[in-house]
Structure 1
């Protein structure tokens, strides 16, 4: 229901309406409260996302994942709400892009990416005069595609360090995007995505933020059934604190125990 409410607001923004941050606050605060009572659901949001309505699911999901990370990083409840509202608003500027980009089925071209790279600036302009969110959250909306090593976009962000809200929303955004089914890309398992963020993208994201999401995910994963890249179905039976993206699993058919930390050619393709 929250996704559909956001979708209605997004359509209004496409038609030229102003962003009413108070409306986003009304959506996100009760949703965040409920999510914190059942936090295991927050990390499974990618299961509910469909590629046709990705933009709308993504907005709500960034908000919930961002708020959850803030909560686990011991932010006070007011700042948890701020992170949730900011995350939800990060992509409001997508409403200013040509609709063909939002619905495109094939791979994006270099020109497409150039247009999409403008959306954080649009988002920031649409919410910068709000009295409901902190200045640092407004900046986080602008910076959510910025990276600590100076890459990302908009490029002019290179000159100053990113604040906590920016770091949190950046991780929430990329985690949900990479674990979700897209029109032009298959979803990847949270374990694989977290491994990529942690290792392949080392230096781009704040380590404390990534570790917070990683340890939270590990806590809820014991006992989960997973599908491996070789097609086997297995159960997670142990997660070593030093190798949280590669747990010890038991293959359902054979009972074989495999430590994915040692057996590097295997990885979790999907959480069932």
Structure 2
């Protein structure tokens, strides 16, 4: 829908670039509105913006319907996503360590979402925008199955396998319910004792579901989703072929979403910067088949692709070296200068336009 900026409230999602009397957007699409954006819109005398029908917390955006500039603009995936996040928070807060998890309710909640997400090629590039840092825990729980099933489909897993991967990804952090959720959201460095508790959450998650009617692959993947190929993971430190393939997919999804999302103690990072770091720092820890699929799914540039760079410059990709897929040659919009991102490591692609 289109609304006047005065009708906006924090938490609205802008779904179309907001242009002032400028060549580049003053507020790009997929921005979650904060008070600073309201000031920018007022300063530039913007008369209307396009927003999603739901806030980022899942609530329906309500305003005076007579003042809404109506234009049908559906965003079914986004709206379903934030709705699932909201319902997931409600589910988790209704459980405790004595509760029996309602697996059927979880399936009904997440399966329609992941069926949409696994067919959306841009899901990996957008999900980190749909996030409230103070509620990161629940956004992360819902995002992992979406990312994991997208990757699993690209890797050739069957529909039945993908549903089990989604369930395992959703349940993998359920052990946080015991007493770790508050620790997980702390805006500070954890104490040694708190970090020790965090490392036990895969075991606690497994205990939550070990007697539930779910496939054994799901249970093993939940237990092993923090294991690493080189044996540096937890809780058991198993290596390589001892790790279930589902767990390897969830591990990559977990790290990717965590690194690209805004947290109470850290700004969100570009997906392109994150995959560079994963290829550099985690190449011996993560399953390379899964990691390569993540890179392939994200880095699908072609000549003529318009991008925003980390230095707030805009440009067009003119050449991509297959050996360095995240660092193409970019012709800048303002002066037509061509910069080589392979040579200038301080700049990276922030977003595809």
Q: Say which SS state the counterpart of residue 157 (structure 1) adopts.
A: coil
CA distance in 1, matches of 2:136, 2:172: 14
Q: Residue 341 of structure 2 corresponds to which residue in structure 1?
A: 260
Q: How does 1:118-267 map to 2 (within 5 A)?
A: 118-132=200-214, 134-158=215-239, 161-219=242-300, 223-228=305-310, 230-236=311-317, 238-267=319-348
Alignment partners' CA distance in 1, 2:319 and 2:170: 34
Q: 1:52 to 1:236 in 2, by over 3 A?
A: farther
Q: Supply the distance in 2 between the matched residues of 1:208 and 1:87 (Cα, whole angstroms).
A: 18
Deviations 1:68-94 (A, max 9, x none): 111000111111111111111111111
Q: Which residue in 1 is equivalent to 2:28?
A: none
The CA deviation at 1:140 is 1.1
- Greater RCO, CA 8 A, separation 6+: 1
* Counterpart residue number, 1:91: 173
TM-score (ref. length: structure 1): 0.90
Label 1:186 to 1:19 Cα distance change in 2 as closer, same or farther (>3 A): same
Could you tell me how far apart the structure 1 residues matched to 2:117 and 2:319 are?
Answer: 25
Bigger-Rg structure (1/2):
2
> Which has the larger helix fraction?
1
- The whole-number CA distance in structure 1 between the counterparts of 2:308 and 2:137 is 27
TM-score, normalised relative to structure 2 = 0.70
Distance 1:21 1:249, change over 3 A: farther
Q: 1:31 aligns with which of 104, 113, 119?
A: 113
Residues 183 and 36 (structure 1), Cα distance of their counterparts in 2 relative to 1, 3 Å cut: same
Residues 1:112 and 2:194 are matched in the alignment:
yes
Tell me by how many angstroms 1:239 deviates. 4.0
Moved more, 113-122 or 247-256: 247-256
For structure 2, the residue ranges without an aligned partner over 5 or more in a row are 1-82
Instruction: Give the gaps of 5 or more residues in structure 1.
Output: none
8 Å CA contact 1:35–1:42 kept in 2: the answer is no
